[in-house]
Chains A and B, each alone.
Chain A
Amino acid sequence: DAGVIQSPRHEVTEMGQEVTLRCKPISGHDYLFWYRQTMMRGLELLIYFNNNVPIDDSGMPEDRFSAKMPNASFSTLKIQPSEPRDSAVYFCASSPVRGDIQYFGAGTRLSVL
């Protein structure tokens, strides 16, 4: 398996624009997680899904952030409108079962100017 695949790897956009980050989890993994890494806060969980259903979105910072998982092989994290403070590296991770190891993608580095 190719592992967790995220796209794009880098995204530069202007304040106010919509940004969509994409993730393809490892096939057969039932859990999908979105994390954000910043210098100030480190790696923090934004939201996670189990069998395509959002379970806990308490980490989503604002209503500007939304995440979907329309099927078992695809998830998106959308920021609308984007702001400079959203600049960070966003990671997607998946795991086969509850409590198992999480496998991370390479991340998307987002810069909002």
Chain B
Amino acid sequence: DQQVKQNSPSLSVQEGRISILNCDYTNSMFDYFLWYKKYPAEGPTFLISISSIKDKNEDGRFTVFLNKSAKHLSLHIVPSQPGDSAVYFCAASENSGYALNFGKGTSLLVTP
């Protein structure tokens, strides 16, 4: 049973615009959330994370928002660049560690 869901399998955005990737979760015990980026033939690489005590975390062009009441988080990329084209995975864990529960990913395409 998927506890982390990314309902949009793909997203296409023009270069320079904002990309918004969404993620929903069902387990209220999750307290740590991460986004990973994955290029073809490579492993996922860590992008940004957020603890449940925060509702926003920013790192350069990347911002993650957490809405605990809605069990929803989103990743904003501003401005989007062609090099951002990749599959983005949302992940969550309980007790700030141990196993990560991953969503199925959203494939982002940033067009010039």
Contacts and interface: CB of A to CB of B under 8 A. Distances in A.
Given A4-B43, A43-B89, A102 B104 contact: no
B46 to A, nearest CB: 5
Interface residues of A, number: 23
A35 B44 CA distance: 11
B97 A107 contact: no
A80 to B, nearest CB: 24
B45 interface: yes
Nearest to A50: B98
B43 A101 contact: no
Interface of A: 4, 33, 35, 42-45, 48, 55-56, 59, 91, 93, 98-107
Given A101-B49, A106-B41, 4 more contacts: A45-B100, A99-B96, A102-B46, A102-B100
